[in-house]
Amino acid sequence: MSLRDRQRAETRLQVQTHAIRLFTDVGYDATTVADVAAAAGVSAMTVYRHFPTKEDLVLYDEYDPVTASAVLDQPPGPLPVRIGRALSETAAHGSSSEKAFLLARLRLMISVPALRARHLDSQYATADAIVAALGCSPSSDEEFQVRATAMACLGAAHVALVRWAETDGAADLAGLIREALTSVFGKTRESSTLTVDSPARPNPSHTKSSVW
């Protein structure tokens, strides 16, 4: 990452951190973009350069490429298992401060109607990243199957995230995601469902005995 990219990332995080604090303390509707800009010490134009809409101040994250990469890191096998493992493993990582920030964002997504409506867009974007990472041809049967599987997994993960937020982050998020996936897919067998021929990366840490 270049110096300019690092500076942009630092500014983006600074702005988003102040936004989440203000939305939490003052209220989402009661806080303007100008308020966020003043708190972050930047211009409103700078805020809009990084976050085109007010909703993006809450919804933006960089999980899509991380999740897509984690899917590729899984050993070959049924797609629900690969995506499910990637989601639960991604959730298990992160520092306590990162998880606290995620929890604050989730509370806003759950409580603010405008954010709930936009959250589905985020799921579509994550599904797009997974489809692209797996190299599916647009409008193909394979693309349809991968997208449907990804959205089902992401829907289960969203239910787990909501439950995690309801426990104020006390529950094991990765465990909740695995539980939600089991509720949707059951105890999926390694050879019983859709498998996509894709460039899975060898990962010796995975064994056949672990499903999710």
Is the same domain home to 129 and 181? yes
Q: Looking at residue 145, which CATH number applies to its domain? A: 1.10.357.10
In a domain, 136, yes or no: yes
On whether both 30 and 121 belong to a single domain, the answer is: no
With tokens 């509720």, the residue in question is 183
| Dist CA 191 CA 78 (whole Å) | 7
- pLDDT digit string (tens) for 65-119? 999 999 999 999 999 999 999 999 999 888 889 999 999 999 999 999 999 988 8
Which domain, by its residues, includes 7?
3-53
pLDDT by residue (tens digit) across 162-187? 999 999 999 999 999 999 999 999 87
Q: And the tokens for 111?
A: 């409580």
Domain count, the chain: 2
Element (H, E) at 204: none
Taken in order 94, 175, 85, 158, the sign of the CA dihedral is negative
Q: Do the beta carbons of residue 116 and residue 109 sit within 8 Å? A: yes
Rounded to two decimals, the pTM is 0.83
Length in residues, the chain:
212
